[in-house]
């Protein structure tokens, strides 16, 4: 989703591998992801994470592993819908506050990506 936001509208409905890698190299992105991962790896109240969070190098490796899959992923219905919502937000600029539409569709996209990962479809 971050790659789509940074590519749109300049590149249209494309997921650019260079921007993809910039997202994975971004420390704020890594920290946000690590915060989510830390929550998922805790068991019970006050428990410490079961595993270490990924390192910056881990993020770069993961980004590189999937960079060649972007042209396939940008064709998925949920990703295409996300781009159309970004189009709508551009059209509504000044009429609506913030990226509320893409945040709503982002939840659907996250669910779809989790399902795709669970089924093994995210393999490069």
Predicted local confidence at residue 40, as pLDDT: 67
The answer to pTM > 0.85 is: no
Instruction: Name the average pLDDT for the chain.
Output: 85
Locate the domains of the chain by residue range: 2-119
Q: How far apart are CA 37 and CA 69, in angstroms?
A: 23
In the predicted model, is pLDDT for residue 20 greater than 70? yes
| Residue 101 pLDDT class (50, 70, 90 cuts) | confident
In the predicted model, is pLDDT for residue 39 greater than 60? yes
């Amino acid at each position: 989703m971050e790659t789509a936001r940074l590519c749109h509208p300049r590149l249209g409905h494309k997921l650019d591998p260079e921007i993809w890698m910039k997202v994975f190299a971004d420390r704020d992105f890594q920290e946000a992801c690590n915060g989510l991962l830390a929550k998922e790896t805790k068991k019970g109240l006050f428990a410490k994470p079961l595993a270490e969070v990924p390192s910056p190098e881990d993020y770069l490796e993961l980004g590189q592993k999937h960079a060649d899959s972007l042209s396939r992923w940008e064709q998925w219905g949920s990703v295409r819908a996300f781009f159309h919502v970004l189009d709508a937000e551009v059209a509504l600029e000044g009429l609506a506050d913030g990226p509320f539409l893409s945040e709503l569709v982002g939840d659907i996209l996250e669910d779809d990506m989790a399902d795709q990962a669970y089924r093994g479809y995210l393999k490069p």
